Amino acid sequence: MTWELHDAGRRPVLLLLVSKFGHCLNDLLYRHQTGSLVVEIPVIVSNHPDLKPMADVCRIPFRHLPVTRDTKQEQEAAVLDIVEQLGVDLVVLARYMQILTPLLVDRLPSRIINIHHGLLPGFEGAAPHRQAFDHGVKVIGATAHYVSSELDDGPIIEQTTSRIDHSADPSRIAAMTRDLKCLALARAVQWHAEHRVLRNGPKTVVFN
């Protein structure tokens, strides 16, 4: 048996990685500001500068670390430096539109959480919401999971769903999915921060 002992008075340190989509970031920052998400967020890192104003409003430092195919290893090494310097406990991919390499994933097992829409793997590639609409999907959702070496295939922490009908066009499906992503990610991050998630091989056990 393996076991861990945690100081309940210590706030876990989070590193938020983002790109251009701000809905998940905004939701996490609001929960943090209102005290429902009891963590420390010392920095927000992004491969684009678009969300800096959101960080500025919350008075959280923003680091722009651009990345290309040729500079990916250097950029991820810089992210790891931040993790080590700030004592980061959990890296949250709040709609970070980059595929992580083993350089990050292998160094931070069960310490990276990602979110993806629940239409995967049924509708992969471009325009999943259009594909869902064209196929008459009746249930949409989102999945929050730990990051593994397989894309969007890590141990699942939380899933949210919502029923839709013929009146939901692709834009409505996309809007509803954004809300579901925010909720699933926030729950997963909070449960991890409260040490309520246990890894059990390829899956998790969550204590509610």
Predicted local distance difference test score (pLDDT) of residue 131: 81
Residue 120 confidence (pLDDT) above 70? no
Structural domains present in the chain? 10-108 (3.40.50.170), 116-145+159-208 (3.40.50.170)
The backbone torsions φ and ψ at residue 63, rounded to the nearest 5 degrees and listed phi first, read: -110, 125
H or E element that contains 44: strand 40-46
When pLDDT is cut at 50, 70 and 90, the band that residue 124 belongs to is low
**Which residues are CB-neighbours of 3 under 8 A, at least 6 positions away?**
none
pLDDT one-digit tens code per residue, 46-55: 999 999 999 9
Residue 125 confidence (pLDDT) above 80? no
More confident residue, 135 or 163: 163
Is 152 annotated as catalytic? yes
When pLDDT is cut at 50, 70 and 90, the band that residue 33 belongs to is very high
What is the pTM for the complete model shown? 0.92
Residue 119 confidence (pLDDT) above 70? no
Percentages helix, strand, coil for the chain (3-state, rounded to 5) are 35, 25, 45
Instruction: Name the active-site residue from 152, 153, 165, 179.
Output: 152
Supply the mean pLDDT for the chain.
92
